[in-house]
Structure 1
Amino acid sequence: MYIGNIIIPIKIILLNHFFYDIWEHVKSRYLFKNISSKGFQNLPVLSVTQDKGVIYRDSLDIDIKYDSSTLKNYKLVQPGDFIISLRSFQGGFETSYLTGITSPAYTIFNFIDNQSQNHMFWQYLFKRKNFINSLKKVTFGIRDGKAISFSQFGDVKVEYPDFGEQKHIAITLNKIDDAIQLHERKCEELALIKKALLQKLFPKKDEIKPEVRYENFSDAWEQRKLGEVVEMFNGDRGYNYPKDSELISEGIPFINAGDLKNGQIDLKNCKKISREKFNQLSGAKIRQGDILYCLRGTLGKNAIVKFNEGTVASSLVDIRPKTINGIYLFIILNSDIEYRQRILNDEGAAQPNLSVRNLAKFIIPVPKTKEQQKIGDFFNQIDTLITLHQCKLKKLRQLKKFLLQNMFI
């Protein structure tokens, strides 16, 4: 907030510390210096990217050609240096953790006085939307592929607190980032475990038994057509199909393909229809335990129904388990077993398309009911763990976003 010419940030507790000091408000040229050291052609060449930051050029998947004789003109980059890349006006400034050289097209800078500034604090500041928006004042007319000069950056005004408050802000945000990375790794590890077990707990192609079995199970698995073990109900395509004017915010769920997200149905944001309109429809009347499957567009996307009443748009089919465990079937419909057959049966031209008739012909490996139950329960536990970490990730990202908005001016 601003009081006259004095700038004061929102008061916030950082690790049990209160900070009330006035933030400085100066042009960047009074804090930073341009760095343009050359003649280090024996050092590795670095690339500056938005998604991966500063990396070794050799680690890129693409083969970038350059004249080695020009390397003497490349600029020295050291750990802690900031780099104004060719897309800084879109994604902020990058920070180097590496020693190397980079194209003279980039602008390299660092603090005039390293002792009075916290490097990590400025890393966060340079990636804030407010800072990136402030660059637009000096980048007007700069075309894509051209870097912001240090002179232009020097005219950008920045607000910052004293070193102690910088440090606490940086520590707080860094701890959140560490927690985010931890849950990201756990999600990735669980996904890999799930993928590996899907290969072990289901028979390979043309085999009748899986590689790994639960104790006391030894029977051969059957190969059944999907249509033999489920019932299928189409969405209504007739005269009574809901018009846009009949879709309402409160009522009975009318599920479309876009409402299927990560194996679940977005009930909060899906369209609804009135009881009268619902009774007019002759299509699917979905119920808890059914599986909704997308037949057009994002082919194969699906979700388990966890509520008792609703219907579907014409792009979906409602699959109701009949002589097969629903959780087990849901696992099959999200495995390579389904994917291989879906690709072969795609009837689409302008967009992917699959008929209910061909979906019903998909071959499903089916063990005894108790083994289905065990496999279903096991993978359900893994999915629950993945969902738990995803929820924590979402909350941590929301917290970080809130702090980035409120811990800075």
Structure 2
Amino acid sequence: MKTGATKDKATKALVPKLRFPEFRGAEGWNERPLAELMSESRLPGSKGNVAKKITVKLWGNGVFEKNDSIQGSINTQYFRRKAGQFIYSKLDFLNQAFGIIPPSLDNFESTVDLPCFDFADELNPVFLLEYVKRRDFYERLGETADGSRKARRIHAETFLSFPIALPIRAEQQKIANCLSSLDELIAAQGRKVEALKTHKKGLMQQLFPREEESQPRLRFPEFQDAGNWKKMTLGTAANFYNGRAYKQEELLDAGKYKVLRVGNFFTNNNWYYSNLELDETKYCEDGDLLYAWSASFGPRVWSGEKTIYHYHIWKVVEQSGIDKKFLFIVLEHETERMKAKTTNGLGIMHITKGAIESWESLFPDLAEQRKIADRLMNLEGAAKAEAQKLKLLTVHKEALMQQLFPSIDEIKL
């Protein structure tokens, strides 16, 4: 009885949870190894370092021309690649380093570490790309034998041994068209977000004086004759309060107050707590302006309950005559300016409280500060709203893909 049930499961065609109306009565999807549907392409190309090369960017960012000045081995053999072929990185398969070669990169070349594949007529290239984009496909099939996520090379023969559940060509095309349309919406939304960010950055450069100048190039009409901005150090414009350094035994798994550390800006996990009652300057509350000691993070506005902040973070309290929102923008502006001056190429900059207090910046009168802050914050709000729409579109596509494809768990490996 058990043997028969196993056999039925192995031979049963698969059906996704969601199908387009015209295919709801169609046969189930049949399992096939990719080797029956694809073949590796090895058209000999250049040798040495003279090739016009392509590469695959991580995290599903597609196929691009590889521009580098690294001198390759004189014996390196490159292979010519054709538009429409599937390509992936042997080492970075788990990082979604795969894609379809676009027409603009026809006849470009890559080594065997970026193998390419031709398709049988019964397999739609876009369908395959969307199929392998699913996390449960590339993670499960790309992991090591013991189930770990350690990087390993996915050789061409290994990739071709991966199983795929395949519907008829017409259903493949319908799914490909649907998901491609969503990709176009996501790309357009992404461009909208970037355009708003670029606009804000450009406007900010216009609304703030350039170095060695005391007035901005662009000013609201009511401030055209307001005169020069006043130079002052950030330590004059605001008070920077150190957080508290904790001994390990003072950090609890549960307690009255959360202890905000730099890492908690990025995740709600791994919080520590404290029951210590401290000076009020050691707490941050909803709306407080914070700054991490690594300027790579820039200023942050705390959103949440009363919390103790760690000594790697400073609370920034504006002085009289300084608008808090404008101060936030100044900190952003000065941080970017200082990061641009770093020499490590990564924009990583660790600073001291004394150093940031000594930074000099220019400030207009309070009314102009508020006008500038309102305009830039409105743009920031618009960018965040559009970014949220982008996130929702991406989540919608991921959910739709889970419905349109059979679960990898149903496919025998």
Q: TM-score, normalised by structure 2?
A: 0.77
Q: What is the aligned residue count?
A: 379
Report the equivalent of 1:285: 283
Measure the CA separation in 1 of the matches of 2:283 and 2:142.
54
| Residues 1:87 and 2:94 are matched in the alignment | no
Equivalent residue runs for 1:169-180 within 5 Å: 169-180=175-186
2:361 is matched with which residue?
364
The Cα offsets for residues 339-387 of structure 1, whole Å up to 9 and x where unpaired, read as 5568999xxxxx9654434433332311111111110000101111111
How far the C-alpha of 1:300 sits from its partner, in A, is: 5.8
1:199-246 per-position Cα deviation (integer Å, ceiling 9, x unaligned): 211112232211111012122211123233323332234xxx474664
Q: Map 1:96-175 onto structure 2 (within 5 A).
A: 96-98=101-103, 99-103=106-110, 105=112, 107-112=115-120, 114=121, 116-132=122-138, 133-134=140-141, 148-149=155-156, 151-175=157-181
Report the residue type matching 1:286 in the other structure: C
- CA RMSD across the alignment: 3.8
Equivalent residue number for residue 304 of structure 1: 301
Distance 1:332 1:185 in 2: 26
CA contact (8 A) 2:62 2:99 kept: yes
For residues 270 and 376 of structure 1, what CA distance do their matches in structure 2 show? 34
Which 5+ residue runs of structure 1 have no aligned equivalent?
346-350
Describe the shift of the 1:332–1:36 C-alpha distance in structure 2 as closer, same or farther (beyond 3 A): same
Q: Which residue of 1 aligns with 2:209?
A: 203
**AA at the equivalent of 2:360:** I
Show the counterpart of 2:384: 387
* 1:27 CA displacement: 2.4
Could you tell me which amino acid in structure 1 is paired with residue 263 of structure 2? G
Q: Which residue of 1 aligns with 2:331?
A: 333
Contact persistence 1:121–1:166 (CA under 8 A): yes
So what's the TM-score if we normalise by structure 1?
0.77
Pair 1:212-2:218 in alignment: yes
CA change 1:38–1:305 in 2 (3 A) is closer
Task: For 1:37 and 1:216, locate their aligned partners in 2 and report how far apart those are by CA, in whole Å.
Answer: 68
Q: Distance in 1 between matches of 2:297 and 2:36?
A: 57
AA matched with 2:315? D
Counterpart of 2:261 in structure 1: which amino acid?
N
The amino acid across from 2:398 in the alignment is K
| 1:233 equivalent in structure 2 | 241
Unmatched 5+ stretches in structure 2: 1-7, 343-347, 407-413
Higher mean C-alpha displacement, 319-328 vs 15-24: 15-24
Percent of aligned pairs sharing the same letter: 21
SS at match of 1:122: helix
Q: Deviations over 1:118-173 (max 9, x none)?
A: 221011123334443435689x9xx9997724x55443322111223222322232
Cα pair 2:56 2:88 within 8 Å, conserved: no
Equivalent residue number for residue 30 of structure 1: 36
Aligned partners of 1:294, 1:46: CA distance in 2, in Å? 41
